[in-house]
Each structure stands twice: as structure tokens, then as C-alpha cells.
Amino acid sequence: MRIPHRRRQRGVRFNITPLVDVVFLLIIFFLVATHFVRSEVHEDVLLPEATQNEEETEEALHRLVITVTADGGYHVGAQQMAPELVDQMIRAGKLESPERYEVRIRSDRSVPYRKVEPIMLTCAQVGVTELKFNIIRP
Amino acid sequence: MRIPSHHHRDEPREDLAMTPLIDVVFLLLIFFVCASVGQLREALLPTRLAAGAVASDEPIEQPDPLGKVWLYLKQNDANRTVFEVNNQKIVEFADLRGLLLELAIAAREIPVILDIAPDVPVGDFIRVYDACREANFDSVHFAVEQKAATAGERKNRNE
């Protein structure tokens, strides 16, 4: 009598193709979501050029970023603000966080100085010592 | 009767498909390369304002040539920013930068006061301030036009 010879399959079959598909979908989702979040925060301004920039060493506890667009408008958090409101926000922020409070100015390089001067003056008056300008390196 | 033995053949594993993984990796690589092209990385130019350093000061017509470097920025008729350092007119930025470097080598402790006209573009103001930082002056002040007030900024190089 002949005993049939069976091939015994060793190991466990593991199909990773669905796993790859799921990972791919997740990555695409996070990339698209990050893109939309970033496009809301940053207005399109042509920053001035400078070479003496400093690396960020310590994270400020409270930071206010003021964008001054080419048409002279003030924007905070993707919302246009009146100059008086920007002034109030600087003062309020300093009262809320007396220590490690930072003001950043993202101004278009064509904006006249009279648009930026009030912000600098307010910062000096309320005692904001950390005032930084966003620039790009040439 | 002879019972045949089971052959342990080394069969090639067909369950591990690397091709989709390689496709995904290449796709991601191409995406990040295309996304990063054209993006400008922003940096920070700091100005450390001295707390409570807004003081009234009489605007002086003739600054003391020994005590301060009074640097005016204004727009000429051609809408171009021109500079004046202690009554010395300078048109080109490269000349101003050279002068500031020479002054800083001679006397770094002399305060520099930037008096900027309202119509001067921020780009030019930043360039001049950047030149002052490059020259390594100890203190750079900003003159503001509001009830003859002066906002001061001091850099402590001993830190």
C-alpha cells in the first residue's frame, strides 16, 4: 500500500499588503491635515533679509506673533486686527505672563516703518524685553 | 513496507511581498522632495529691549560726535533709502556697513541710535540693524517719534 506523501507547509502565512495600505492612508491623512493647518496660520509675507539671526534656545511661555502684511494690515492668528487691539493684546499678554513673554513681528519687507514703530514702542513701554523679527537668510 | 520520509524542503517564502512597501517609500520620498522645494525657512532676529527704557529726551540737532553714533534713515526723492551718520551722508548700504564696522573696531561701547523716517521700508531698517549687530556694538537704540520719546535696547555682551 502506498501512503500518500503530503507536503507540510511550514510557518504561518503573513500578508502585509493590507498593513501597507493602512499605513499609507494614515500618512496621507496626516500630511494633508498638517498642510491645511499650516496654511491657516502663516500669512504670505516677504520677510526681510538678515544674517545675524539667533537659534531658539528657550521656549517662551507665552508668545504673540504679529504679522504685518504688505498692505499694512495687522494679523494675529490669521485674523486681521485693528492697531488698538494689537496694542491691547501686547499689554494683556504681558500682564498674563510677566516672565518669558515674547513678541514676534512677521513684517513684509516693503511695509513702512511707521507700521512697526507703534508695536516696538508698546513693547518698550510695558516692559517686553524679548522682541524678535522673523527674517530669512540671504 | 517502507514509509516514505517527509522531505523538509527549503521552499522560498512567498508570503512576504516587499514591492508595495518599496512603492510607498518612493512615493513618500517624492512627495517630501516636491513639498520642500520653494519653502523658505524663517529665522529670528532678536532685539532685547531694556525693560522700562522709554525716556523723554530732547531731540538734538547736532549730536555729540564723540558720545553717540546717530544714524538717520530717510527716503530720497527717488524713493530710495539713504543714510546719514553724524552729518555724513551715505547712499550705498555697503559703504554704511563698512563705516559701522570701522566704528565698532574703534569704539564698540559707543551707543548707536537709529532714527528711522516713517516711510523707510522695514526691509531696509532690518538690514541696517543687522549691520549694527554684525559690527558688534554694545547697544543699539531706536528713536521713536512720539512726544520725543526714545526706546532703548541694550545688549549685554558679558552674558
Domain ranges in chain B are: 49-153
Residue A6 pLDDT: 64
| Residue of A126, A40, A113, A6 whose CA lies nearest to B50 | A126
**CA A72 vs CA A45, A91, B117: distances in Å:** 11, 21, 16
Residue with cell 544714524: B71
Residue A52 lies in a domain: no
Complex confidence, ipTM: 0.70
Residue A69, helix vs strand vs coil: coil
pLDDT bin (cut points 50, 70, 90) of residue B13 is low
Residue A122 lies in a domain: yes
Does the distance separating the beta carbons of B50 and A112 come in below 8 Å? no
Q: How many domains does chain A have?
A: 1
Residue A89 lies in a domain: yes
Contacts of A104 (CB under 8 A, 6+ apart): A63, A64, A65, A66, A131, A132, A133, A134, B44
Structure-model confidence comparison of residues B58 and B127, the more confident one = B127
* Below-70 pLDDT ranges, chain A: 5-12, 36-43, 56-61
| Residue of A7, A14, A6 whose CA lies nearest to B11 | A7
Read off the pLDDT of each residue in B52-63 and give the average, rounded to a whole number. 52
Which structural domain range is residue A112 located in?
Answer: 62-133
Closest CB to A120: pick one of B8, B43, B151: B151
CATH code where residue A67 lies? 3.30.420.270
Fold of B49-153: Nucleotidyltransferase; domain 5 (3.30.420)
Read off the pLDDT of each residue in B59-80 and give the average, rounded to a whole number. 75
Tell me the nearest-neighbour CA distance from B62 into chain A, angstroms: 24
